[in-house]
Amino acid sequence: MNEYEEIFLCKTPQKTSMLSGAQFVRDMIEGHPQTCYELFRMDKETFMNLCDHLKRHENLQDTRFVTVEEAVAMFLLIVGHNVRMRVVADRFQHSTETVARHFKEVRRALCRLGKILICPNNMTNEVSSYVASNPKYFPWFKDCIGAIDGTHISAWVPADRQTSFRGRKTVITQNVMCACNFDMMFTFVYAGWEGTANDARVFLDALTRPEVNFPWPSEGKYYVVDSGYPCVSGFLPPYRGERYHLQEYRGRRNQPIRPDFQY
């Protein structure tokens, strides 16, 4: 009976820190901007805008114990720094069950939000203002609507599938193809492929799957891609054998032939 009473009736409080999760987030917002950026991987204004957007459009609301700002902060710490949930639970003075539940809610809300934000905003015949106002790019890229490239993002996969996800740097990653416009905004993201998959394979898979809804360029428009992608209609890779980077022109024999050469 004494053992039962000590374990179940006379519990010793565990979360006894004077600094609650709400106070911790408030200190980050009101403190040095570099501290907020290092912890949350975004500045104060971006963090607050994200929280406000999730409140308005994704129906994330403050609960009795956890605010939206706390939930987003917990999510960013776990994802951005690979922090264990037990460590986050101790920092925010919540149970691991509460942290895990709000982590899933924020993840689902961000996935829904991504479908709204990551989309083309200019697929018409209008020339991008960034290109039109820059003589370095106009008129050479007046029909270009963006660029496509692949990047490797760290992934968590079961042990029996880690071989296919282990890239050339021996790190377990997934190959993610992204499209970006001249406003430096993502217009398409295609994730899920193994780290060993090459960019061309991911590219062709995204183009041939109707359910992916790839934003095809309109007539006469195109994306710029690197040499790892095929040269097909609507996509412009570099010409084989041509020099494009400044370091390739260094040296006496590598200087340009004509200073006023134009394509």
198 belongs to a structural domain: yes
Residue 124 lies in a domain: no
Assess whether 113 and 133 both reside in one domain. Answer: no
Q: Residue 157 domain-assigned?
A: yes
79 and 181 belong to one structural domain: no
Instruction: Judge whether 261 lies within some domain.
Output: no
Q: Does residue 95 lie in a domain region?
A: yes
Last residue of a domain, one of 92, 117, 142: 117
- 169 and 228 in a single domain? The answer is yes
Is residue 83 domain-shared with residue 149, that is, in the same domain? no
Residue by residue, DSSP assigns 107-118 as HHHHHHHHHHHS
Q: How far apart are CA 145 and CA 216, in angstroms?
A: 10
Query: Taking Cα atoms as reference points, which of 132, 131, 148 lies closest to residue 187?
Result: 148
261, pLDDT greater than 60: no
Same domain (yes/no): 112, 137: no
User: What mean pLDDT comes out for the span 150-160?
Assistant: 85
Q: Is 39 a residue whose pLDDT tops 50?
A: yes
The answer to the question of residue 260 being in a domain is no
Residue 32 sits in the same domain as residue 75: yes
Query: What is the token pair recorded at 109?
Result: 């809300």
- Domains of the chain: total: 2
Considering the domain architecture, whether residues 31 and 107 belong to the same structural domain is answered as yes
Let me know whether 63 and 149 are in one domain: no
Residue where a domain terminates, one of 85, 117, 149? 117
Last-in-domain residue among 68, 91, 117: 117
Q: Say yes or no: 139 and 245 in one domain.
A: yes
What kind and span of H or E run contains 193? strand 186-194
User: Amino acid letter at 2?
Assistant: N
Query: Could you list the residue range(s) of the whole structural domain that residue 13 is in?
Result: 2-117
CA distances from 198 to 3, 178, 191 (A): 60, 14, 13
Give domain status of residue 208, yes or no.
yes
Residues 138, 177: one domain? yes
Q: Are residues 11 and 109 in the same domain?
A: yes
Q: Is residue 215 part of a domain?
A: yes
Which pLDDT value is given to residue 17? 66
User: What pLDDT, in 10s, does the model give residues 83-123?
Assistant: 888 888 888 988 899 999 999 999 999 988 888 888 887 65
Q: Do 50 and 139 fall within a single domain?
A: no
Q: Residues 198-255: pLDDT tens digits?
A: 899 999 999 999 998 899 998 889 999 998 898 889 999 988 777 777 777 777 777 7
Prior bond of 238 cis (ω within 30°): no
